[in-house]
Amino acid sequence: MSNDLSGSMKKMDVLKHLSSEDIGILISLLHEAAYRAGQPIYYENDPGGSLYFILKGEVTIELSGRQIRTYGPGESFGEVAFIDESIRTGSARALTDVELVVLHGSDLYDPSKVSPAVAMKLQRSLAAKVVGYLRSTLMTTTRYLLMQGEGERLEFKSTLRMNLHTGKFDKEIEHAVLKTLAAFLNTEGGTLLVGIDDQANVIGLEADQFPSDDRMMLHLTRLVTDRISMNHMSFISCYPDSVDQKELLRIDVSPADIPAYLEHNGEERFYIRTGPSTIHLRTSELYDYLRKRFYRLTP
């Protein structure tokens, strides 16, 4: 096995409880695969039984045509159908050019190739990941979030770009959205719901006047890419949702592993979340925060 592959596999979250020897055994079973941007990896209802590890690039998981989550290097996907060898519950597609390694269940559960003890360690790790995902998903339905009200990890915005007072598109409205996203990235993550007024009433997305959901999400992606960075899109998942037959935009943000600076009027600013507020850190406060929050910057 190559040192590069060994190093990459040791960084995979689902393998962190396995020894170097265990990981070496798994590496001997892996199959390389590559996909071009936009190419499907598997479809919903396809047979399962294989687990995917991302070495390079990004993969998006879709359910009924709706983007659920994006995965990047160091992450795995396809766990559910791998564990029980069932059909795929969603589709996977290469968001960029992707390099993967694939583990087939038929190899993992072959005692002539892998000891039952090693197979059980991996299976338990995968099960823990799936259970954690299910728990978080069940507790964070959009309707449930609306009932909780705004807080450190939840904020509402009436629109993505329209100033409801002037009736015109407004860059400051977009900036307010980006400030919240940057703060979530720099703190503990969170969810931004667009189409919700300050009283938590669902008002919908009609005011923003996007011709389609795809155009709306493309607009948001361009804002993040241009004003924060393309790298941070891997921590952001957005999709249209509905409550009481009114459409809204849900943006789920994971904590980033690199600082997110927001460009505005030629300057870069660093935002964090404190309680229900988004605040700008001054230069005198920034170093200590970066050192504590982003461990790689610790001297």
pLDDT of residue 64: 66
Total Cβ atoms within 10 A of residue 184: 30
Using the 3D structure, point to which of 106, 138, 170 is the last residue of a domain.
138
Is the pLDDT confidence value at 1 over 50?
no
Q: Which domain holds residue 273?
A: 147-297
Residues 86 and 209 in one domain: no
Residues 22 and 164 in one domain: no
* pTM of model > 0.85: no
Element (H, E) at 148: helix 142-148
φ/ψ (deg, to 5) at 231: -60, -30
pLDDT digits (tens, 9 = 90+) for 34-61: 999 999 999 988 988 899 999 999 999 8
Residue 184 sits in a domain whose CATH number is 3.30.950.30
Q: How confident is the model at residue 3 (pLDDT cuts 50, 70, 90)?
A: low
Residues 179 and 266 in one domain: yes
Mean pLDDT to the nearest integer, 264-291: 91
Q: How confident is the model at residue 132 (pLDDT cuts 50, 70, 90)?
A: low
Domains identified in the chain, total number: 2
178 three-class SS:
helix
Structure tokens at 168: 């015109």
Total Cβ atoms within 10 A of residue 64: 8
Residues 174 and 281 in one domain: yes
pLDDT of residue 129: 78
Residues 182 and 62 in one domain: no
Residues 129 and 173 in one domain: no
Mean pLDDT to the nearest integer, 183-197: 93
The DSSP symbol for 153 reads T
